[in-house]
Structure 1
Amino acid sequence: MKQSGIEQRKKMSHIDTIFAYTLLLVFGTCTLLLIALSASVYQKNTKRMNQNDERRTISAYLTEKLQAADEQGCIRSGRIDKREALLLLQTNQGTGYTTYLYTKDGFLMELFARTGEKMSADAGKKILELKELQIREIREGHVNLCVWTRDGEEISLIISRHAR
């Protein structure tokens, strides 16, 4: 009779051990799944935040440039090396200068030169990663631009002008 009690305790001990290991395995699996899910959510949120930052940076840069050149007739569309460009004209002590904003090799480029001077698009400075800049409309009251980010996202900007 004593042997059957000892055998029964050993059997219960094995069942308890198996139950504990199974519980540990389930807990470990759930923990790993939770970590993987959290990493995925974090990665998506980070990507979305970076896209929003990129969008805001592009919008803020172009808005500031256009508002700095906000005088009658100082914002025009044009070309530099057969590339579409936004021309911002200004005069300083009687000398005319032009700032060219255009895209080249996946970057928004800026080139500041004396008006009328022959310049190459290669001379510009890289500002932001940007696939394309398209000037849709320049009117008295606003400038309508369309830009494409490096991810191919289209951003349409309508920038109000104060000078009329």
Structure 2
Amino acid sequence: MFKIDRETHRIDSIFIMLLFFLFALTAFVLIMIGVRQYKATANAMDYNYEIRTVTSYLREKTRQNSSNSSISIETIDGTNALCLKNTLNNTIYNTYIYYYDGSLREMYIQEGTPFTLNLGQQIVTISGFDMDKTDDGLIIVTISDSFGGTTDMYLSANSN
């Protein structure tokens, strides 16, 4: 009847191997595209977490202290700190928000009590935090994220 030629069988094997190689190559390319997209999405989420956490946190803290006399910038051990004053039972408490050792930190302490910067509660890891007060009472905050970017934020001491 039919006689199978060895050369035809060899071409069939090469064709099947070529199809398998093409399938494996396509699968590898799709996986690499997925990995790159995942990394980009994860980095964007980390960036948004850092910036949104810091900006939301600072906005909420300044809204809680709405008078000009209760918000100031103080220097503690050479580090700028946002100082928010509160009075509770005729005792003044200060909330200091500052950058130390790679993270934004907060320290809530009675006025006049000495403390060191390493005692503050860590809020979020960032790579820099600086602030300056303008003549019209605005506080300009510059946040440096861990991706090398900076974000400026304006806070009003009078948020009402």
- For residue 49 of structure 2, what is the aligned residue in structure 1? 53
RMSD: 2.0
- For residue 136 of structure 1, what is the aligned residue in structure 2? 132
Contact 2:73 2:132 in 1 (8 A): no
SS at match of 2:14: helix
Unaligned runs of 5+ in 1: none
- For residue 42 of structure 1, what is the aligned residue in structure 2? 38
TM-score by length of 1: 0.86
1:100 to 86, 96, 100: 96
TM-score by length of 2: 0.88
Select the structure with the greater relative contact order (CA < 8 A; seq sep ≥ 6): 2
Measured after TM superposition, the shift of residue 145 of structure 1 is 0.8
Structure index of larger Rg: 1
- For residue 88 of structure 1, what is the aligned residue in structure 2? 84
- For residue 66 of structure 2, what is the aligned residue in structure 1? 70
Q: Percent identity?
A: 25
Change (3 A) 1:139 1:64: farther
- For residue 126 of structure 1, what is the aligned residue in structure 2? 122
- For residue 144 of structure 2, what is the aligned residue in structure 1? 148
Moved over 3 A (4+): 138-142
Change (3 A) 1:14 1:123: closer
Measured after TM superposition, the shift of residue 141 of structure 1 is 5.7
